[in-house]
Amino acid sequence: MRLWKTMAVALAFAPVMAFAQYKDPDVALANLARGFGSGDTQSIVSGIAAGDQVMLQFPGLVDGGGFYGRDQAAYLLESLFSKVKPSGFQQTNVRKNSAEGQYHIVASWTIQAGGKAEARELYITLANKHDRWSLVSARSGSK
């Protein structure tokens, strides 16, 4: 009986892990706006599927840049948001590439760095994988 209860609890949480991606581009944009606009790391990493690698690059803000798994991405973003305080995210351009199953998003990203407001462009790519949308890359323009 105890084994069945343990399995039932494990199965109850399995769908959360299986659907770690965004269900559609609108949900993706809302989560990305919340994540980059206010420093909500979980809103961003919720779009990274387990086992996937996402390219993150924020020149001049955090050291490094490259391809990261979900946990590594969360760590990098936490480090980023502890150095700069996001205060705004405004989508400026969204382009769908149906042939590649991707959305390319350009946004104006406002951060507080060193006590001063600074605006940077943010370039984000989403890809459709099995009817879910995954974060493929997020890069900021340099200062």
The CATH number of whichever domain residue 59 belongs to comes to: 3.10.450.50
β-strand pairing of 85-97 with 132-140: unpaired
Per-residue pLDDT tens digits for 5-52 = 444 434 344 333 334 578 888 899 999 999 999 999 999 999 998 899
Q: For residues 61 and 143, what is the distance between their CA atoms, to the nearest angstrom?
A: 9
Residue 47 within any structural domain of the chain: yes
Per-residue pLDDT tens digits for 122-135 = 999 999 988 889 99
Query: Cβ–Cβ contacts within 10 Å for residue 107, how many?
Result: 24
Contact at 8 Å (CB) between 137 and 124? yes
Identify the H or E element spanning 4.
helix 2-18
End-to-end CA gap in the chain? 60
Q: For residues 79 and 76, what is the distance between their CA atoms, to the nearest angstrom?
A: 5
Q: For residues 79 and 36, what is the distance between their CA atoms, to the nearest angstrom?
A: 13
Residue 129 within any structural domain of the chain: yes
Residue 68 within any structural domain of the chain: yes
Residue 2 within any structural domain of the chain: no
pLDDT for the residue numbered 11: 38
**Predicted confidence band of residue 142 (pLDDT cuts 50, 70, 90):** confident
Which range of residues forms the domain containing residue 118?
Answer: 21-140
Q: Could you identify the residue written with the tokens 């990261």?
A: 68
Per-residue pLDDT tens digits for 59-77 = 999 988 899 999 999 999 9
Q: For residues 90 and 106, what is the distance between their CA atoms, to the nearest angstrom?
A: 9
Say whether pLDDT at 96 is over 50. yes
Residue 61 within any structural domain of the chain: yes
Task: Give alpha helix (H) positions in the chain.
Answer: 2-18, 25-38, 41-45, 70-83
Query: What is the reported pTM?
Result: 0.82
